[in-house]
Amino acid sequence: MARRAQIIPPRSDLKRKAVNLTTGFDLRLTPELIKQLEDVVHKSRDGFTKDIGERLAAMRQLLAETGPEPEAQNVLVTSLYESSLAIKGAGGTIGYDLLTLIGKSLNDFVTGLKSLDDRQRPVVGLHIDALYVVLANRITGRGGVVEKAIVDAFVEARRKFRPDGSDGGSGDQQRDA
């Protein structure tokens, strides 16, 4: 028989240690602190863009050179998954929201795949090209009408060329757990 759930009251040791009335930062962010923290993110931008550029080069090379052998295909898809996830996570953090959108699209496309067939390979290639264009032209934000049309086209490509007809992932959750 299931036992009754025990509720353990909130622990206050961390609060006692760190929360006070004199030193540190207000619980509510001040504009000055936001600026300071955003400067930190801004400074990291060069490192992230270099990393994304290197990932795109590696993905493009791997896509071109990988043969049909299952093991090689598995390495390819794993690499595409990892890099697209990293681009999805980093893009918007440093102001490149469009990189996140296209990175997510690529990540959704390869999620759950073990290999790429002849129809899926060009779709991946187009994602990589699009990511390159965004990075090379330093298109920050979500872009305009053309960029939206491209992202919509990738959604359609996912529907059409994934074996299960699904769009891979579902909507992102920005809410609390």
Judged by the rule CB under 8 A, the positions of this chain that interact with another protein are 2-12, 14-15, 17-29, 33-34, 36-38, 40-41, 43-44, 47-48, 51, 82, 85-86, 88-94, 97, 100, 107, 169-177
Q: Using the Cα atoms of residue 60, residue 170, residue 177 and residue 175 in order, give the sign of their dihedral.
A: positive
Q: Which is nearer to another protein, 58 or 68 (CB)?
A: 58
Measured at the CA of 36, the angle between CA 53 and CA 43, to 5 degrees, comes to 20
Q: Which is nearer to another protein, 28 or 67 (CB)?
A: 28
CB of residue 142 to another protein, shortest distance in Å: 12
* Secondary structure of 73-106 as H, E, C letters: HHHHHHHHHHHHHHHHHHHHHHCCHHHHHHHHHH
CB of residue 68 to another protein, shortest distance in Å: 25
CB of residue 45 to another protein, shortest distance in Å: 10
3-state SS class at 140:
coil
Q: Which is nearer to another protein, 14 or 145 (CB)?
A: 14
Burial profile 129-156: b = 16 or more Cβ within 10 angstroms, e = fewer = ebbbebbeeebbeebeeebeebbeebee
Q: Which is nearer to another protein, 25 or 75 (CB)?
A: 25
CB of residue 93 to another protein, shortest distance in Å: 4
